[in-house]
Structure 1
Amino acid sequence: MLADGGAERLSALLRRTLLDRPGEPVTGWLLDLAALHGLAPLRADEVRAVGDGAPLWRYLHGIGLPPRGEPRSPYEKLLLDLLGGGGSAPRAEPVDGPAVVQSMLIGGTGRPGEGASGGLGVFLRSLGDALADRADVGRVVTVVLAANPTALVVERAADREHWTVHVPVDSPVALDQREMGGHRAAITWWLRELLSRHGLVPDVVHVRYSDDGSLAVADAARLLGARVVFTLTPDPHRHLAARYPEEGSDVDALRFDLHRVRVADRLVGRADTLVAIGGRGDELLEHFPQLEHRHAVAIEEGIAPLAGTARPALVRELFEPSRVFPRLDDSARGLPVLLNVGRLHPVKQQAVLVRAWLEAGLHRSTALVLIGGSVTDRTPDEQAVLDEVLALAASVPGSRGRLAVLPAWPNTKVRELEHTLVQAVLAPSPHVYACASAKEEFGIAVLEAMEAGMLVVGPRTGGLPHYVDHGRNGFLADTSTAEGLGDALREVVALGDATRAVADAGRETVRERFPIARVAGAFARVYLDLA
């Protein structure tokens, strides 16, 4: 949306820049910017002289000329097919009630624990289903990215109006947050085109994360005439001073974190409604002075109920020998299990957990199970964490047979394992879900473990203190060091059977306070107020 006279000024500036500096890396982004806003700063002959590939074709399409060229990748072939009128994905029928788009551009909703996929993907999948089941919501569309795509995928769930749109990105691997900026205009273009072509134009668009991907989705929302909701968190603001304490810190990392702070401010300014996770209002005001004059609606997250019974075969998988990764052996039978599930990433601190378990001597009285990470094509973060975990385990031969490391499991399988441990695997003290994260904005995996009846130990900073009451329904720990985490875990395990009442209270907390249907109602009220 450009103010009066803004289109002409921007068009003139684009023309000068494109003609004066042809071939610059930013050329494609500028052509996409023009196409998004319906501008035509260059004639057809001029634009063919300065641009090529996908940005050129999107620009030509925008000024009503047929794009031509030889695709050099599956991504470019998809684009040319789309612009040439191809594609057979379904078109949505009109619905009663507002259409809501929710974005999940970091990771995805398919397999949590692989790459950058985690608890937010699990939450958005179940939230989307719960919203679509409501009579007052017409449709939910979850937007994910498709790296190195070979087909356009726009699909509807079999039993409800919950759609998933896979936005193609010109990258051989999934984008991380630092790479989003270079694809921002293209993501906006694709999202606007796909939602329009398939009858999925939204009334409300909800973005999370302070990054260029969220800006891309917010741009598409404005171009489609939708209202914007933004969930803001105090990240990366709260860690800047600690992360960069002195000269010589990683300048590129600092620059990117400061960019994310600026992006967060821009999203706050663009959003029609702001959402805060749970009870984070005071901390948010510390980093967003704009909130003195604006209200952020506090909404807690939640989980879907799990149907099914215990599956002992899942426990047996923890003992199946592997030539690559550690597994449990017979010496671990009958011991309480410390379970940790999630993507392998430094912020999740699996290596800190293993170090804490070893240094506190817990390998003598408990079994530790880590589930997360890709089987193949691991990200650098995944490989670095895995290497450190395996090196730590090898450094203490006495831990052999007490540690199991497994790649990511589907969410339902993880939850069934948790229920099986509680219901069918007897131990002298409750099985523990050990969340070692440096931060958890809310902690979907923690809620799932509590719902199963596991005893939870997690960080005392971040979102957990808003529902974990230390000593009553779980335990909070200092996860900033292996020593602090190890001391907390050792004390909890030493309490033995006395903590079963705490685990039971944790289960009741989740079942009473965090069912996904209740959470969906809170989000629906926000969306209906805007639609």
Structure 2
Amino acid sequence: MRIGITCYPSHGGSGVVATELGKLLAERGHHIHFITYDMPFRLGNFHQNIWYHGVEANRYAVFKYPPYDLSLASRMAQVAKTYQLDLLHVHYAVPHAVAAVLAKQMVGDHLKVVTTLHGTDISVLGEDESLRDIICFGINQSDMVTAVSDSLVQLTEEKLAVNKEIKRIYNFVDRRVFYPRNVSRLREKYLQADEKILLHISNFRPVKRLEDVVAIFDRVQKEVPARLMLVGEGPEMTKVVSLAEKLNLTSKIIFLGKQDEVAQLISLADLLLLPSEKESFGLVALEAMACGVPTVGSNAGGIPEVVEHGKTGFLADVGDVEAMANYAIELLQNESLYHDFSQKGLERVEEKFCGQKIAAEYEELYQQVMDS
């Protein structure tokens, strides 16, 4: 198949999943064309069967804002005609789904549109009255719509008046990248022999509840020698630094900023903390599980579909930092329980979230769309 993929190419779960899916599909013999404003950061070096097509919005003086959505639609149509694409798979409802529908109208009905919803396009943008109708339009006019969790399917149906069936296809990990690594030498760089590492990775937005992360760590480090490793940057960084200073934890927190390659850092950790207020899936929890690292976090959104409470991690209500801290302490102090959680997590990844399995699900979906 000849497939166009459009996503947000910068840091973020939707871009990661879209890029990794494209790479897997290319390995399986499909021709993949990324159409977006920048090279996806996970794309890396040359890949056979993968093309990249940049999009640049016209900056004509009469435009107050460059019309990226129209430029994207035009570029999609151009690439579809030139390379005879079978379908466009767009990740995120706006503007990608709408642009893809417009491109289809320019090219013809033989070009199919598959839209994957990732979360904030529904939970955040769907709350905006000025965008709700256009989001519904993009979804309803797509030939097929998927969402990354059952929770997100339900949220979309509750929030938006869509008449399109939404199929759940989970996110995934490439087991060749995310697996338990030997990082003993790297651990020596960051901590003492008896210390544990608690890890948090995010874009540091309020919804990630970074202050809860610090509060959980504060309770844990009073019972277990530990350090907190923070990967990412964002608007909550100032609050994190202030709270760390207030609790005298600055010397125990390792700030690593944004990191493109996180598999080795995850293997370095003993626990992942994910106390999010909203989480459509929880990709970082899946990546941690694939590295043998249990998650302690909230039961928000799609997280319980990834982390099995009491089997591969522990979950508590949003904001219940006391319970999360107690769960973390229990896991860190019980070596047998920790090993059991780690092993069951690895088995769960292989069973439900393996990249090849999910790529095959998308292939089947594409074929259904093309045959319809």
TM-score normalised by length of structure 2: 0.84
2:265 to 417, 421, 433: 417
CA apart distance, 1:144: 2.6
User: Could you tell me which residue of structure 1 aligns to residue 210 of structure 2?
Assistant: 350
User: Could you tell me which residue of structure 2 aligns to residue 286 of structure 1?
Assistant: 158
Aligned length: 354
2:55 to 167, 184, 209: 167
Q: Are residues 1:297 and 2:167 paired?
A: yes
Task: Provide the rounded CA distance (Å) in 1 between the counterparts of 2:300 and 2:65.
Answer: 28
User: CA 1:233/1:416 → structure 2, altered by over 3 Å: closer, same or farther?
Assistant: closer
Letter in 2 for 1:362: Q
CA apart distance, 1:486: 4.0
Task: Provide the rounded CA distance (Å) in 1 between the counterparts of 2:65 and 2:158.
Answer: 27
1:504 to 332, 340, 343: 343
Deviation sequence 1:33-91 (CA, Å, 0-9, x none): xxxxxxxxxxxxxxxxxxxxxxxxxxxxxxxxxxxxxxxxxxxxxxxxxxxxxxxxxxx
User: CA 1:235/1:263 → structure 2, altered by over 3 Å: closer, same or farther?
Assistant: farther
**DSSP-derived class of the 2:38 partner:** strand
**DSSP-derived class of the 2:128 partner:** helix
User: CA 1:238/1:311 → structure 2, altered by over 3 Å: closer, same or farther?
Assistant: closer
User: Could you tell me which residue of structure 1 aligns to residue 243 of structure 2?
Assistant: 392
**DSSP-derived class of the 2:83 partner:** coil
**DSSP-derived class of the 2:289 partner:** helix
Instruction: Answer yes or no: is the 8 Å Cα contact 2:169–2:361 preserved in 1.
Output: yes
User: CA 1:144/1:458 → structure 2, altered by over 3 Å: closer, same or farther?
Assistant: farther
**DSSP-derived class of the 1:211 partner:** helix
Letter in 1 for 2:134: V
Task: Provide the rounded CA distance (Å) in 2 between the counterparts of 1:448 and 1:282.
Answer: 24
Task: Provide the rounded CA distance (Å) in 2 between the counterparts of 1:368 and 1:170.
Answer: 45
User: Could you tell me which residue of structure 2 aligns to residue 146 of structure 1?
Assistant: 38
CA apart distance, 1:487: 2.7
Q: Are residues 1:227 and 2:85 paired?
A: no
Q: How does 1:126-275 map to 2 (within 5 A)?
A: 126-135=20-29, 138-146=30-38, 158-169=46-57, 182-193=67-78, 196=81, 199-225=82-108, 226-232=111-117, 235=120, 257-275=128-146
User: Could you tell me which residue of structure 2 aligns to residue 104 of structure 1?
Assistant: 7
Deviation sequence 1:465-492 (CA, Å, 0-9, x none): 123221012111223x2xx134313333
Deviation sequence 1:286-341 (CA, Å, 0-9, x none): 234544xx432221121101358424454355x3xxxxxxxxxx5x5422211111
Task: Provide the rounded CA distance (Å) in 2 between the counterparts of 1:188 and 1:164.
Answer: 15
User: Could you tell me which residue of structure 1 aligns to residue 329 of structure 2?
Assistant: 493
User: CA 1:234/1:506 → structure 2, altered by over 3 Å: closer, same or farther?
Assistant: same
1:518 to 328, 347, 357: 357
Task: Provide the rounded CA distance (Å) in 2 between the counterparts of 1:416 and 1:235.
Answer: 28
**DSSP-derived class of the 2:4 partner:** strand
Instruction: Answer yes or no: is the 8 Å Cα contact 1:451–1:507 preserved in 2.
Output: yes
User: Could you tell me which residue of structure 2 aligns to residue 310 of structure 1?
Assistant: 182
**DSSP-derived class of the 1:130 partner:** helix
Q: Are residues 1:367 and 2:227 paired?
A: yes
CA apart distance, 1:283: 4.0
Deviation sequence 1:336-369 (CA, Å, 0-9, x none): 21111122322223233123433x3535622111
Task: Provide the rounded CA distance (Å) in 1 between the counterparts of 2:284 and 2:72.
Answer: 30
Instruction: Answer yes or no: is the 8 Å Cα contact 1:435–1:457 preserved in 2.
Output: yes
Q: How does 1:429-444 map to 2 (within 5 A)?
A: 431-444=270-283
Letter in 2 for 1:145: Y
2:257 to 395, 399, 407: 407
User: CA 1:363/1:218 → structure 2, altered by over 3 Å: closer, same or farther?
Assistant: farther
Task: Provide the rounded CA distance (Å) in 1 between the counterparts of 2:32 and 2:369.
Answer: 15
User: Could you tell me which residue of structure 1 aligns to residue 198 of structure 2?
Assistant: 338
Question: Structure 1: which 5+ residue stretches go unaligned?
Answer: 1-97, 109-116, 148-154, 172-178, 240-252, 320-329, 374-381, 422-430
Task: Provide the rounded CA distance (Å) in 2 between the counterparts of 1:475 and 1:215.
Answer: 39
Task: Provide the rounded CA distance (Å) in 2 between the counterparts of 1:128 and 1:530.
Answer: 18
Q: What's the % identity of the aligned pairs? A: 21
Q: Are residues 1:477 and 2:327 paired?
A: no
User: CA 1:219/1:520 → structure 2, altered by over 3 Å: closer, same or farther?
Assistant: same
Q: How does 1:9-20 map to 2 (within 5 A)?
A: none
User: CA 1:392/1:164 → structure 2, altered by over 3 Å: closer, same or farther?
Assistant: same
CA apart distance, 1:529: 1.9
TM-score normalised by length of structure 1: 0.60
User: CA 1:295/1:503 → structure 2, altered by over 3 Å: closer, same or farther?
Assistant: same
1:120 to 14, 19, 23: 14
User: Could you tell me which residue of structure 2 aligns to residue 33 of structure 1?
Assistant: none
Structure 1 residue ranges (4+ consecutive) displaced by more than 4 angstroms after TM superposition: 179-182, 233-239
**DSSP-derived class of the 1:525 partner:** helix
User: Could you tell me which residue of structure 2 aligns to residue 244 of structure 1?
Assistant: none
Question: Structure 2: which 5+ residue stretches go unaligned?
Answer: none
**DSSP-derived class of the 2:204 partner:** coil
Instruction: Answer yes or no: is the 8 Å Cα contact 1:457–1:476 preserved in 2.
Output: yes
**DSSP-derived class of the 1:146 partner:** coil
Task: Provide the rounded CA distance (Å) in 1 between the counterparts of 2:302 and 2:369.
Answer: 27
Task: Provide the rounded CA distance (Å) in 1 between the counterparts of 2:236 and 2:115.
Answer: 31
Instruction: Answer yes or no: is the 8 Å Cα contact 1:141–1:162 preserved in 2.
Output: yes
Letter in 1 for 2:368: D
Instruction: Answer yes or no: is the 8 Å Cα contact 1:167–1:190 preserved in 2.
Output: yes
CA apart distance, 1:521: 0.4
**DSSP-derived class of the 1:409 partner:** coil
Task: Provide the rounded CA distance (Å) in 1 between the counterparts of 2:292 and 2:47.
Answer: 30
